[in-house]
Structure formats: structure tokens, C-alpha cells
Chains A and B, each alone.
Chain A
Amino acid sequence: MSKRPSRGNTVLLHLGLVVLILGGIFPAVWLFLTSLKLDGELIRLPITYLPDRPTLLNYVAVFRDNPFGRFVLNSLVVSLGATLICVLFAALAGYALARLRLPGRKAIMTGIVMTSMFPALVLLVPLYRLFVGEEVGFLSALFGYLEQLGFGFLPSVVSTPNLLNTYAALIIPYVALSLPIATLILTSFFQLIPIDLESAAMVDGSSRTGALFRVVAPLSAPGIVTAGIIVFVNSWNEFLLAFTFNTTLNMRTIPVGIILYQGEFSFDWSIISAALTLGIVPLVVLIIFFQQRIISGLTAGGVKG
């Protein structure tokens, strides 16, 4: 950690760095290499490291055997939808928590942090039943009462809509699951924007909400991007709920689609590798372009926690 390490130390540190890089990307590289091999090469001993005859046939197979394009579309719609809604809600809440003198601010903050500790697993059964369509008791009772009063056109049983195998079934829980971390990130971000800017706008005759939209909103773009990326990655990666709620072939997200992969043969690793590689590419792109943002976002959320 000293500022100018000796030459020997530098070599050692670089060696360590190379090990870190190899360890971090090796599984992904191996997937990519596997995806370029033909089936015959895959089950040959001794195993080959670099593909003998690199081929893109597996990538063709990914799209041929399964509606993989549809999986990608589903993942994109669900993740982007969840990201937009979650970041919007989190930005509003984060501003309130960072700037306003609210009674019970601490309690709300603690509550939000605590909800981030609920296992998603606990949500599984209740959400499933909610999405399958559950009777809303008090509304049914109310409508029954109204019917007696002569409002005959009302349904006698009120239940939540069946959301299974729709995008909403995933977007709603994903928004909630990422809301705590996004709120934490944005709260700590808003605390960094000097409050004087807002006061200045208000002195200059802007209303309070005007200051919020014209001064604070543009300045908070970097924080919003940071929170957005993290929500996006969380949603893109979620498996359990997607696996339970959206199981019809056309509504699967990428992780579910790959786990439930229907190949011609039992478990075709070369095609699975190709599919996995395709699923990782967007994440790699995000990482390469936004690494600093992601790191600052993760640590802001973490250090606050």
C-alpha cells in the first residue's frame, strides 16, 4: 500500500493482478471457447482448450431450437420496465429522504433497509397466489352490499387479475426487490448535491417543485444512471420468481429459458454455452462502459447499509 513500491513488489503486484484478471474472466472465456466447438470435439479426450475448427453453428442452433430471440426480448422488456419504474420511485423517495425534514425519516429509512433483507424466497408463495388471482375479501363484501342496494352490474366476487405469464408478474416484484438498494444509492447521491443550488433557484423566483425539476433533476442524472444499471443487472439476473411465474415458452426470460433448455439431445453443452455467452454479452458491455459508476453505486448502497 506504500506509494512507491520497490521493483520486486511491483512485479509481484502485477502478477497478482494478472491472476485476478484470469480468475475473474476465465469461466466466461471458457464458455465462449466451448460455444465455438462442435459436439464431437466436446466429448473427445483429452479435452481441447482452443477449438479445433471454430464454428458459429451453435449460435445458429440457439435461435433455431428455441425462441431465444423471444427470451432476450422478454428479459429486455422486464428489466427495462422494472428499471424505469424502480428508479423513478427511488428517485422520488431518495429526494424526500435526503432533503426534507420529515418526522419518522430515520424509521422509514430503517424500514426500507430492513425490507432489503427479506429473502425473495419468502415472497414466492404469497405473490404466486396474488398473481394467480386471489379474492379480495373486503371488496367482495363491499360489492355484495352494494348489489343489495341495487347496483346489480357489479361483479359479486372481486379478485386480483391473473398475472401469471405476463410481464407485470415480473416487473412488479423486481421493482420492489431493487427499490431498497436504489433508494439508498439515490439518497446518498442527493445528499451530495449542494442544497444551495436549490435555494438559489428558489430565491430567483422558482417554486419549490420548479427547483426540483429544473435544478435537481438534471444534476441527479449520474446517480440515476448508477442506480439504473444496478437495478437492471439485478432484474436481468433474477431467476427464482421468473422460473415460478413465467413458465410458458414465450414468456421465459433468458435464465429461465436456458435452465429449461429443450435441446434435441439431453443436455447440449456447446449450445448451452452459446446461449450463456449471448446472455452475458449485454452485461459485459455494461461493465466495460460503466465500471466506475457501478462500483460507486454498489459502494454507496453498501456503505450506507
Chain B
Amino acid sequence: MAAHSKPSRPVAPYRKPGFWRRLRSGNPSDVQLGYLLLAPALLTLALVMLYPVLTVLWQAVHGEHLLRPWQGSPFVGLEHFQKMLWGRNMTWDLGHLSGLRLLALAVVAVLWWQVSRGRLGRGVALGWSLGLLLVFGVLMGFHPGEGGRWGDPRFWNAFNITLIIMVVSVIGSFVVGLPLALLANVESPLRWLGRVALLLPWAMPRAFTGLTFAWLFQSDYGVVNDLLGRLGVTALLQVLLDSQLFGNQGLLWLSREMPAIVAVNITLIWKTSSFVALILLAGLQSIDRSLYEAATVDGANAWQRFWRITLPLLRPAVAVALIFRTLTAIQTFDIPFAMTRGGPGRTLETLGLYVYNTVTASNIGYAAALSVSLFVISLLITIFYLRWIFTDE
């Protein structure tokens, strides 16, 4: 362009304008402009995301410990992972539980082999795998003696609690979130207030949420125990549950294992179901109204319309919410930390908290290996979900 804009000069043979000339002329090519515009974002991501991930990979196979600086960071290969998953002095025997675990893993492997050959639906396989892994994980962590023999008991404990939180809070946030989305879509003068109530849990910092619910669940002066007491639920629970779990005013929510797990899941569901509801709301609003009218004309009742039209058309939104929720559930850190710092004991020590505690204990190498395991789990789930969404579309 620049060559043609000054006709007074003798015509020079056409030269493709150089990179800077095109840029300065204000008419860069797509590629130039594109990479120029992308550069800041990509550089930031490379510095703050890619570089750390590569460093973590390096650290995971090196034995760095800040309290033992003299040992430097020797290459230890997969020792951390062996310690984590298998145990240092573990022999390949097939004891009763070991056999069961290997069987569970074998069944999972067979399930996915069948899926890869197209003989089994992905949903079925996912359900079975999760169930088996839950059993597998519970067997690992809840038998301290056995767990001690098999890998790092703290890792398996953290793995279990993370798995429990993942399954319970993700399912819970959908069970609560779907009605919320339907309600938020209702025409009403209260609608804007409903949306504020929907957005507040999303916007509230996780650390705040943890603290707030720690106060709500406080065993003596908390409002939860007060309400449960007034409604007579505490009396009912006292009949059903171990008396060890109760204090003067009701359940000792945050100082006993099972109540703490329940409390943290309730908190997570409160915090996250509104996000699920928002994503589902977008899905709901994109559904064509005329479909419902047609169905009504054909004589479908509200229930049938919900099952036959709303749910199937909501599937993409469900998939998206599922991905985000699962990935954030794996990384659960702030809420249990703020509620009980991972206690009582190590009941609420999620993988995230375990990584954090290992870092503060200066064991950099092992913390990196734990992060890698966390990352691998996230990656596997992401890949699984993405394949699931894209192949079934």
C-alpha cells in the first residue's frame, strides 16, 4: 500500500512492505497484529503458569528439603511417587486388601478398555469407576495400619477426603443448583432480589465463607445447633448417633470427624451451587420457548416437559458446570482451612491442604510431587469431560 500512495516518485519494483513498515502504516496483516495483540497475554501465562508448572515437574523428581540445605536437590527419580502411592518398603505381596485393591484397579482398567472399544457407555463406566475408586480409596485411608503399609497414609487420607468432597459437593451443588436456576428464571417482582441472593454466595470470598460457616456451625453459640435444637432434630439425632458426637448444645460440628465432613460439604454446596445455577440459567434461557408451547399443545404436562425438553437441552450447560465444579472441588483449600485448619486431626486435610502443609514443612520436593498428582488428576478429569462433551455432540 505504501508504495502506491506516493505516485510522484519513479515507480520502483514492488517490494513486500517489511514487518515494521506495515505496522507503522497502521495496516498490519492479520498474523502480525494477531501475535502482537496476543503477546502480553501469552507472555504472562508463560511466566506465571507455564514456568511454574515446568518447575514443579522438575522439583517433583528432585529431593529438595529446605531444612536440609546441605543435601541440595539430588535427583531422586520417582521416589516421591513411590513413597506417596506405594510405600518405600512395600513388597509385591497380595494380602487380602491388596488383592481387593488390585482387583478394583483391574476392573476399572477393563471398564475403560471396553469403553475404548465402544462396547460400553461412558456414563456407565464413569459411575462404576468412581464407585470402585471410592471403595478403593476408603480401604486405603480408613485402615491406618494397612494404609501405613501402603503408601503415605496422609496422602491417602487427603485423597479420600478430597474424593468425598468432590463427589458429595459436586452432586450436591447440582441437586441444589438446578432448582435455584429454575426459580431464578421465574417472572416475579422478587426476581432481582433472587438474583442478588444467587450471586452473593458466588462473590463471597471462600475464606470468608469458611469463617462464616465456622461461626454458624459453632457448637455452643452457633445458630445451626440452636435451630436444630428448637426443631427437635438434635433430640432425634441423639437417639440415632453416637453420644461422643454431642456437646451441651448439640452436635460438635467442627470437632468430630463425621459432623465436620458434613459441615464442610454443606458449606461448599452453599458456596458453589449458585455458580452451577448461573451456568444452568444461561442454558435455560437459550432454550426455545416454542418447544414448550408445542409440547403443551401435544398434551405434555409440566413434569414431562421438564424431563423431555428441559433436561436434554440443558446438557451442554450441565457439562460445562460439571467441569468447572469438579476441577475446583479437587483444589478445595480455603474453606476447610478457614473452618478448622484441616482439623479435627486431619479429617479435613484435603489434597490442597496437604500440599500447603508440606510446603510449610519445607519439604519442597515432596510437595511438588503432591502437586503433580493433583495436577494429573485434574488433567485426567478434564480430558475425560472434554472427550465426553465433544464426542457426544
Contact = CB atoms under 8 A, between A and B. Distances in A.
B364 to A, nearest CB: 6
Given A27-B213, A124-B359, A176 B47 contact: yes
Contact of A237 (B50, B179, B206, B382): B206
Nearest to B180: A20
Contact of B197 (A21, A30, A238, A255): A21
B159 interface: no
Categorize the interface residue count of chain A: 35 or more
A118 B207 CA distance: 20
Nearest to B179: A16
A27 B292 contact: no
Interface in B247-299: 249, 270, 274-275, 278-279, 281-283, 289, 292-293, 296
In the complex, which of the residues B25, B44, B207 has the most CB atoms of chain A within 10 Å of its own CB atom? B207
Given A21-B193, A27-B213, A100 B34 contact: yes
B110 to A, nearest CB: 28
B211 A258 contact: yes
Contacts of A291: 192, 195-196, 199
B41 A93 contact: yes
A298 interface: yes
Interface string B179-206: 1101111101011111111111111111
Contact of B211 (A28, A49, A236, A272): A272
Interface string A248-287: 0000001110110000000001001100100110011011
Contacts, number: 305
In the complex, which of the residues A95, A125, A172 has the most CB atoms of chain B within 10 Å of its own CB atom? A125
Contacts of A30: 212, 215-216, 223
Interface stretch (B7-15, B150-158, B316-324): B316-324
B56 A96 contact: no
B331 to A, nearest CB: 4
B52 interface: yes
B247 to A, nearest CB: 12
In the complex, which of the residues A95, A258, A284, A299 has the most CB atoms of chain B within 10 Å of its own CB atom? A299
A20 B193 CA distance: 10
Given A47-B226, A272-B211, A122 B375 contact: yes
Contacts of B275: 298
Contacts of A23: 197, 270
A174 B8 CA distance: 54
A118 B53 contact: yes
A60 interface: no
Given A45-B249, A276-B208, A286-B203, A17 B331 contact: no
A95 B204 CA distance: 31
Contacts of A154: none
A102 interface: yes
A50 interface: no
B44 to A, nearest CB: 5
Nearest to A28: B200
A126 interface: yes
Q: Which 7 A-B pairs have the closest CB atoms?
A: A24-B197, A207-B26, A299-B282, A176-B48, A126-B52, A237-B205, A93-B41
Interface of A: 1-3, 13-14, 16-18, 20-25, 27-28, 30-31, 34, 42-43, 45-47, 49, 88-90, 92-93, 95-97, 100-103, 105, 108, 111-112, 114-115, 117-130, 172-173, 175-177, 179-180, 183, 207-210, 233, 236-240, 244, 254-256, 258-259, 269, 272-273, 276, 279-280, 283-284, 286-288, 291, 294-295, 298-299, 302-303, 305
